[in-house]
Amino acid sequence: MAHYRAILIDDEPIILQGLQILIDWEAHDFEIVGCASDGIQGLDLIQKLEPDLVISDIQMPNMSGVQMISQTYDQYRCKYIVLSGYSDFAYAQQCISYGVQEYLLKPVDENELIQALEKVKSRIALDKSSDDAQTRLNDLNQKLQVLTTDELLRDISNSYFETDVDFYHLLSDYSLTLPGGSHYLALAFQTTGTDGLSLLRETLSKALDEAGYPYLLFYYANNTYISFFSFADEASMHEFHERLFALHGQILSVQGTEVCIGVGKDMSHARCLPLSCQQALHALSFKIIRGTNSINPFDSSLQKAHFIQTVPEALWDTFRQSLLQSNFANISHATRKIFQYMTDVSDMPILGIQINTLNLIMTCIQYLSERPTFPAVSYENADFLKQISSFQTADELEKYAQNMIYNLINNNNDTEIAKPTELISRVENYLHENYLEDLSLMHVAQVFYISPIYLSQAFKKQTGQLYLDYVTQVKINAAKKMLLSTDLMVYEISERLHYKDSKYFSKLFEKKTGKKPSEFRRNPN
């Protein structure tokens, strides 16, 4: 089968017929897909068929070959061979200016036409190969851009912002946009396996685009995507909540696998989106009760699920009051009372005790989230379901619940009262000494055994700068040194500094220094 498509255009029928039988087109990988008798018909064929090759006469009625080519050469990728009974140099010059590959004089010699075809075929093949390579390169760049954006938004989701201006400043620094509004919200979407992750991203993007609410979507971890939302007014926010079940159904109909949704609390400030994000991630734990295909608001109650043997409301009220007072003795006593009821009074099965243990921990997180400084709990290191399900006795579960609650409150208190001067100084030294390593907020927090949110908050208080701003400046300074002291290419410097997209790195460098990397290398002053 022929690889390339060609059309013939000439106002003399005998020439059209002669061209079709003059050579074995298929033997030279061409197929004649259309013929025309003037420039107007030829123009119409080119627009409809988009051939690889056009062989055309010059002098034709209604529209000349030159006029036709002038209207198509910059819109279509086809190559041109021009046939003319005129040896006038002006025609050849015009044709060359419009990108015509070959100019042959009539009567056409068979060997000349074959030679012209082979030349044009080589150019078409080269163009197609170049197009394929460019397509692969564009796909790779797009994937790298997605990975870079995901990494930035993961850091933002674990950061602490004192003002909305700080939040939007960081977004704009990385060419990310989210319209300002009066209400903000984060959702977590978690699927049951890794096979459908790429499909889930496509499904979510399409569904959220159709919903029409401004959003930012990124991959977080553990088969989970996060989406930030902005709402212009309260009515839009309520409308979104009402449409959430329909949105979930739309996602499930395409995804074909289970998708659990965690819903953070509505926030009145953009700077609180990281908090709503952490709440949405914690709310995914409710799937132990509602199932892996459920929608789980962070501030909903677990104890009234229909198949759970419930604990009396008075005992929960006592527990909640002890949390408000942050009194460890009272918290311990209230927790003990709840476990005594489950074991001694209701003789609750182990599944019920496990579920209510989760409820105790989530209630603690919910109450602490009302404080100005939310407890520093890393979602990735707090797999409640896995840990709770591993305990098979009430005593083990009680000890686990007590320890988790104490740790949550202690972390929260540390966040409120600590003076982290020494810690942040150590972090700064680490950043300057390890600028070639992964300096994401998540990674550095793990290095220092602290939560990302706590590190972000403490860093801003201590240095007056957002963590990502500081890291960016450290990397830009390192890039300057490498540009001046090494022969590394810009893309190599970008890779060493953990920027996955060299174009993005170059834009960021120019934004911070006022010069492109290549310009800075030539003239650093």
∠ CA 199-201-202, nearest 5°, is: 65
Domain boundaries, the chain: 4-130, 159-300, 306-417, 421-522
> For residues 402-424, b (16+ Cβ closer than 10 Å) or e, as one string?
bebbeebbebbebbeeeebeebb
> For residues 341-360, b (16+ Cβ closer than 10 Å) or e, as one string?
bbbeeeebeeebbbbbbbbb
pLDDT band at 7 (very low <50, low <70, confident <90, very high): very high
Instruction: Quick: pLDDT tens for 166-222.
Output: 899 888 888 888 998 999 999 999 987 767 788 889 999 999 999 999 999 999 988
Instruction: Quick: pLDDT tens for 55-84.
Output: 998 888 889 888 898 888 878 888 999 888
- Say if residue 373's pLDDT is above 90: no
Greater confidence (453 vs 103) lies with 103
Instruction: Quick: pLDDT tens for 318-364.
Output: 998 888 877 778 888 999 999 998 998 888 888 788 888 888 888 88
What is the per-residue pLDDT for 418? Answer: 45
- Say if residue 160's pLDDT is above 50: yes
Can you name the CATH fold of 4-130?
Rossmann fold (3.40.50)
- Say if residue 251's pLDDT is above 70: yes
∠ CA 357-354-188, nearest 5°, is: 75
Q: Residue 375 is encoded by which pair of tokens?
A: 């407890």
- Backbone phi, psi, residue 29, to 5°: 70, 30
What is the per-residue pLDDT for 415? Answer: 47
pLDDT band at 100 (very low <50, low <70, confident <90, very high): confident
Q: Does CATH place domain 159-300 in 3.30.70.270?
A: yes
Give the global pTM.
0.59
What is the per-residue pLDDT for 59? Answer: 83
What is the per-residue pLDDT for 124? Answer: 87
Can you name the CATH fold of 421-522?
Arc Repressor Mutant, subunit A (1.10.10)
